Structure 1
Amino acid sequence: MKTKPFSTKYALIAAGISAALMLSVDAQAATAAPVKNGASQVNITMTSEGDGTCHIDHTSAKAGPVTFTVVNKTATSLTELELLSDNRILGEKENLAPGLPAVKFTVTLDGGTYQIYCPGAKQELTNFTVTGKAAAAPTGSVATLLEEGTKGYASYVNGVVDAMVVAVDRLKADIDAGDLEKAKADYAKARPFYERIESDVSGFVLPGFKATDNAGNLDYLVDMRASNIDPKVGWHGFHAIERELFSKKAITPETKQLAAELQTNVHKLDEQVKQLTYKPEDLANGAADLLEEVQSNKISGEEEAFSHLDLIDFAGNIEGAEQAFAFLKPGLEKIDPDLTRRVTEQFAAVRALLETYRDPAIPGGYKYYTAELKASEGAKLSRAVQALQEPLSKIAEKVATSGK
């Protein structure tokens, strides 16, 4: 889960990100990143200085492949880093605990200005400039632009699932060690990943099982809630563990078994997701499905009935929907620029509303969604999502018929 809200992130990007909001940049950063093995090399180091600082050794590179190497030395408050362009996450690394080995991601960048985002740092954002041949304004056919968007979105989904695997592995380790408080905190960190992509992965059935058999349905095994349990299969997954940690407030042999099952099923899900391909309308329909999830399960308080961390899941659904939209946006702007503008504005409005519920003292960074908060704020949240659902629901048909 982001330790800072999306509204903060994108408002800063839209404002151009002044020098005062830069991340910590080393003296040599003014020079272009050196090239090794055909890729520009940028090193980012997280430390505990100033309650969390990301040091960047170069803030510019020539157009082409760029490798970002990230290591967390001592920053307990920092766990992730992203490279952004026009609201899209081009590359990211999460679960960056202090002391772990350095990790890398490589992206091919055209000339232009990007942003490096280090959520939770005292100074979160900095511009990253790529020189050389600038990325041309989209000139391809609508179909080409939409196809490129589906490929970019597939990479995003793969990255989210990879991060979920790491987070669930950590949650299982906490449970195996009998550390209740750490397990609660890492449960909150693990939850958003599935929520960002659940509309894409909800149909997977394990080999040897019928589609109607919940014993082989990965969505059931990973994310089933208390309100809809199949008595023939029993309760498994995140929410069964949630009950153990937050309601029973104990780690038992059953808790450890549930954690082992969740780890196994999430690893199986990771294997399945890598085989996915998407059509443009899949992205649009998936985004709409995620908003329906918000309305039906998050605002009702049904999703996290024991931990009351529903707003974490709410934010995860919104991020996943917005990422799907962002990857369709270049093509959609050619199809219907007014609709694109309306959806963009409504996403911003929802993110701004979510900002008002931030609480860094609570695991996951949002207020507990108690009965009192639901009574006072539920209708407001529902109206904001509904205002986004109306224009977003039109996108699938737009992109599916754009070439006809």
Structure 2
Amino acid sequence: MTPTRTRVACGVAALATAGLLASACSGSGQQAAPGDPAPTAVTIEISDAGCGPNPATVPTGPVNFAVTNAASAKVTEAEVQGGGKILGEKENITAGLDSSFSLRMEPGTYSVYCPGAAKDTWTFTVSGTGGTAPTAAADTSLAAATQGYHDYVVSETAQLQKATKTFTDAVRAGNVAAAEKAFAPARVHYESIEPVAESFGDLDPAIDARIDDVDDPTRWTGFHRIEKALWADGNLDGMTAIADKLDADVATLEDKAATNTYQPAELANGASDLLTEVSTSKVTGEEDRYSHTDLWDFAANIDGARKAFELLQPALAAKDPDLAQQLEARFTDVTQGLAKYRSGDGYQDYGAVTDTDKRSLADSVNALAEPLSQVAGKVV
């Protein structure tokens, strides 16, 4: 499998490098609500040798995957894959760290994947007996949530296609000023659906990889490759082919979005992991390092995570109204915090944001990501 671009799940190294001290790691909190049956517990111990799940067979229903790393410096990631996509994952679980995520597993055969291990793929089986099902009311609410998010992704990818075409037309015309103006408005439609970017497979790195995430710079494509040409190189020489490929990849993504399906825990896990990435690595300015349009991305990431939360909110409120209320308040806090950086139809240059303000922004996003990490365990 071709790895998708790296996402920071836990760690403080990036913030320490930038002089930012926001907390970067929080517990996943994936427990069942009081009175609900507990999820089946599965341990994934990642090591240089592999990542065999224990137990390797479970009944259908909610499953809590506890990912641990005792000593491996080589293997730091575990994914549960099925149906050609990543259903759940934890990355950057370095030696001595652990984390978890929850999923509702249907009968079938799945894979546990840990890139870099001697044996990197292991079979995980879900039997068709046992387990627990949501109540009829919860099942209806969660079905509406996943259908609503599907519709949201379809809408955003349609807008992404149009906005990207405006951007790439300027690139092909060699119009640097027009391309720079169109860059951030196009990317917001991609960043807004990033909570489920792992479901896009190889399209995610093709469209959105940073230079750090590619082994061969000559094969680097997507938005950030053109970003470098615009702001770092100051010309668009050789970018026509990159623009053409970006259009083709976005068109393929639009087609894929029409048939993609999601499960409730996938929305919750994706939103939580994305906000953790914002509060740890993106806040340093590494995402849009040439254009400094990072605040556009942050706002779109928050919007996408909030959409997932709002769709899951009815089911969450029925199980844990206090958590639902807390999350609503913290989403409001983050949105209001970003609002002060508005400038015209967009946002200020991130290069002008002080380290103190970056630290404050990281703190507020991390304060949101921590309780958001509890949602998957409530809705499986």
TM-score of the superposition, structure 1-length normalised? 0.59
Cα distance in 1 for partners of 2:217, 2:339 equals 41
Specify every segment of 5 or more residues in structure 2 that has no aligned partner in the other structure, as ranges: 1-134
Structure 1 equivalent of residue 277 of structure 2? 293
Cα distance in 2 for partners of 1:145, 1:203 equals 22
**Deviations for 1:15-65, whole angstroms, at most 9, x for unmatched residues?**
xxxxxxxxxxxxxxxxxxxxxxxxxxxxxxxxxxxxxxxxxxxxxxxxxxx
Give me the CA root mean square deviation: 1.7
1:384 aligns with 2:364: yes
Amino acid at match of 1:327: L
Question: Do the aligned residues in 2 keep the contact of 1:301 with 1:374 (CA within 8 Å)?
Answer: no
- Equivalent position to 2:355, from 366, 369, 375: 375
Structure 2 equivalent of residue 255 of structure 1? 239
1:221 aligns with 2:201: no
Structure 2 equivalent of residue 282 of structure 1? 266
1:313 aligns with 2:293: no
Higher relative contact order by CA 8 Å / sep ≥ 6: 1 or 2?
2
SS, match of residue 202 in structure 1: helix
- Equivalent position to 1:266, from 250, 253, 257: 250
Structure 2 equivalent of residue 238 of structure 1? 223
Cα distance in 2 for partners of 1:275, 1:155 equals 10
1:393 aligns with 2:373: yes
Cα distance in 1 for partners of 2:362, 2:216 equals 32
Counterparts of residues 1-400 of structure 1 (less than 5 Å)? 141-205=137-201, 217-231=202-216, 234-252=219-237, 254-360=238-344, 365-370=346-351, 373-400=353-380
Question: Do the aligned residues in 2 keep the contact of 1:169 with 1:263 (CA within 8 Å)?
Answer: yes
Cα distance in 2 for partners of 1:251, 1:311 equals 24
Question: Do the aligned residues in 2 keep the contact of 1:300 with 1:374 (CA within 8 Å)?
Answer: no
Alpha-carbon spacing, 1:232–1:245, altered in 2? closer, same or farther (3 Å): closer
Cα distance in 1 for partners of 2:192, 2:159 equals 12
Question: Do the aligned residues in 1 keep the contact of 2:331 with 2:368 (CA within 8 Å)?
Answer: yes
Specify every segment of 5 or more residues in structure 1 that has no aligned partner in the other structure, as ranges: 1-138, 206-216
Cα distance in 1 for partners of 2:358, 2:289 equals 15
The CA deviation at 1:376 is: 2.8
Identity of counterpart residues, as a percentage?
37
The CA deviation at 1:232 is: 7.4
Cα distance in 2 for partners of 1:297, 1:258 equals 26
Question: Do the aligned residues in 2 keep the contact of 1:193 with 1:316 (CA within 8 Å)?
Answer: yes
Query: Across the two proteins, how many residue pairs are aligned to each other?
Result: 246
Cα distance in 2 for partners of 1:233, 1:198 equals 25
Amino acid at match of 1:337: P
Cα distance in 1 for partners of 2:170, 2:336 equals 34
Cα distance in 1 for partners of 2:147, 2:342 equals 33
The CA deviation at 1:184 is: 0.7
Question: Do the aligned residues in 1 keep the contact of 2:195 with 2:305 (CA within 8 Å)?
Answer: no
